[in-house]
Structure 1
Amino acid sequence: MSPINAVCVQEQVLKGDTLEEKWDLAQSWGYDGIELRGQGERALSARLPDLQRAVRAGVHMPTVCVEMSHFIGAFDDDLRRDAVAQMSDQLRVVAALGGRGAMTPASWGMFSRRLPPFEPPRTPEQDTQVLVDSLGELGRVAEQEGVSVYLEPLNRYEDHMVNTLADAARLIGLIGLDSVRIGADTYHMNIEEADPAAALMHAGPLIGHVQASDSNRLEPGAGHIDWALFGATVQAIGYTGPIAIESRLSGPADEVLPAVPVLLRRYL
């Protein structure tokens, strides 16, 4: 086995009243960590005392995945600024926990060029400038805190701005900060990348985080993604960070999630 990629599971699929209880369950299923969900209204910051207590108890929480109603590429500038402020807050929280970083898309569910009215209210050049501004600000916060912000490309039906790893890499090149990295998600890659392995290879130096779900958005093993090829590619690019399971489930969590670490570790 290669230098281990911690296989993490997101907190919302774990039963338990406390993170410590969720951690016991995650470990019993074979997971190495928990990925937190960063909800809006600075909810993650409000949880900081409980999160720090969980860290002291040995809970491993390396990353945060944003869960808000608006995002850093919002058309409305007030909403965009609020999203940047909330993501900055999440970066500070994950730094306080000794984690690695927080993940965000450009937007989610705001606009798709594949659905009416097909043409967004901003030009591609304006989209780029908005994202460079937002990610540049977040990158500077992340740099100061010693963590990273991960830009997640989403598929064309969920976002119109950043769909491929190459899209994300182009933006990161414009920003020029090492603290801004790519968050690669196998589900979106399955839709958008003609050759997911080649796309990962090309973007390899910029990959800061990986999320895994299968071709149908269910847990790994419930669809048709080639996990052997995925594992070989992860090894080839030298990625040793966490792999977080972000998926819907094909059955009850306690029945389907324990098989996932076994599957992934077969190839990592």
Structure 2
Amino acid sequence: MQLSVQEQLLPGRTLQEKFAFALDAGFDAIELRGKGDFHFATRLTELKRARADGVVMPTVCVDMPHFIGDFDPVLRKDAIQQLRSQLTVIAELGGIGVMTPASWGQFSRRLPPFEPPRGPDEDREVLAEALATLGEHAQRNGVLIMLEPLNRYENHMVNTLAEAVSYCSMDTIRVAGDTYHMNIEEDDPCRSILEAAPYLAHMQVSESNRNQPGTGHLDWAAQLAALDAAGYDGYLALECRLRGEPEIVLPQTASFIRKFL
């Protein structure tokens, strides 16, 4: 397993400067953020230059106000088009793929009014259709589209690794786990990792409190041992809030995680 860190957490003006810091801090790669309005595609020249300079950028995490499970069909269509574009770009960079939740912040059954405007069967139909379109595009480009489960307060559709696995109808549709969301949703995170292993293509890491690993109560030894037992050899991407200055806490965090690898 290797460590990556999301670009917005790193000090530096350019990706080259950010990557130099990341390497010194103990990370191996940068996880990119894919904003909407085809912003990610406009960065292609910058990204290609960074790649030529040795910057390792294997994955993209979508960063938009609407997603493939949106209730609005116009916004849903836009999310699919944005992700298609991001898949094309990460393929040109020789990366692994793009990850997305079904939605974020759109609805929670745990908060009033408790019942969403769309039923579970239609939720599934909408998501399956979007992922099939993206899976086919990913296949043509030799990359992956990765579905990330979020916790029940942030997304009512896909909350567990097993639920995400149920959408993996093609080899190019895979699952991205997140230790923070798993801490809330999985009865047994280690068992869930082992059961999802054939479909698990990426992992994001943060603590029980959404800060950097080592500041909360997650059992990192157990979860990283489970990933090792599952044969996971992908990236552990740091996606969290930072408690402290990045120049201090990022090297500490990389050192903390590597103790268990």
| TM-score clears 0.5 | yes
User: Residue 14 of structure 2 is aligned with which of 14, 18, 21?
Assistant: 18
Aligned partner of residue 250 in structure 1, secondary structure: coil
Tell me, yes or no, if the aligned pair for 2:110 and 2:153 is still in contact at 8 Å: yes
CA RMSD in angstroms, aligned pairs only: 0.7
Residues 150-181 of structure 1: per-residue CA shift (max 9 Å, x gap)? 10000000000000011111122xxx201000
When the two structures are superposed, what TM-score results if normalisation uses the length of structure 2? 0.99
CA distance in 1: counterparts of 2:13 and 2:252, whole angstroms: 24
Q: Say whether the 8 Å CA contact 2:28–2:56 is kept in structure 1.
A: yes
The letter for the 1-side match of 2:221 is A
Aligned-pair identity in percent equals 54
Q: Distance in 2 between matches of 1:260 and 1:231?
A: 15
Pairs within 5 Å for 1:32-181: 32-172=28-168, 176-181=169-174
Tell me the equivalent position of 1:199. 192
Count of residue pairs brought into register by the alignment: 261
1:156 maps to amino acid: R
SS in 1 for 2:23: helix
- How much has 1:35 moved relative to structure 2? 0.2
Question: Conserved in 1, the CA contact under 8 Å of 2:11 and 2:247?
Answer: no
Structure 1, residues 161-205: CA drift from partner, whole Å, max 9, x if none? 000011111122xxx201000000000000000100001111111
> Which residue matches 1:213?
206
- Report the alpha carbon displacement of residue 87 of structure 1 after superposing the two structures with TM: 0.5
- Distance, in Å, in 2 between the alignment partners of 1:76 and 1:237 is 38
| Matches of 2:253 and 2:137, distance apart in 1 | 34
Give the Cα separation in 2 of the matches to 1:6 and 1:232.
Answer: 14
- The equivalent residue for 1:254 is 247
In structure 1, the residue matched to 2:181 is: 188
Q: CA deviation at 1:262?
A: 1.5
Separation of aligned partners in 2, 1:136 and 1:266: 39
C-alpha separation in 2, matches of 1:228 and 1:246: 19
Deviation at 1:230, TM superposition (A): 1.3
- Structure 1 partner of 2:216: 223
Cα displacement string for residues 121-164 of structure 1 (whole angstroms, at most 9, x for unaligned residues):
11100000000000110001111110001100000000000000
Distance 1:89 1:237 in 2: 32
Can you list the C-alpha shifts for 1:26-63, whole angstroms capped at 9, x where unaligned? Answer: 11111100000001111110000010000000000000
Partner SS, residue 167 of structure 2: helix
From 226, 232, 241, the counterpart of 1:233:
226
Residue aligned with 2:84, SS: helix
Q: Determine the C-alpha separation between the residues in 1 that align with 2:76 and 2:196.
A: 27
Deviations 1:246-265 (A, max 9, x none): 00011111111111221222
Whether the 8 Å contact between 2:31 and 2:57 is mirrored in structure 1 is yes
* SS of residue matched to 1:171: coil
| Aligned residue in 1 for 2:5 | 9
Instruction: Specify every segment of 5 or more residues in structure 1 that has no aligned partner in the other structure, as ranges.
Output: none
TM-score using structure 1 length: 0.96
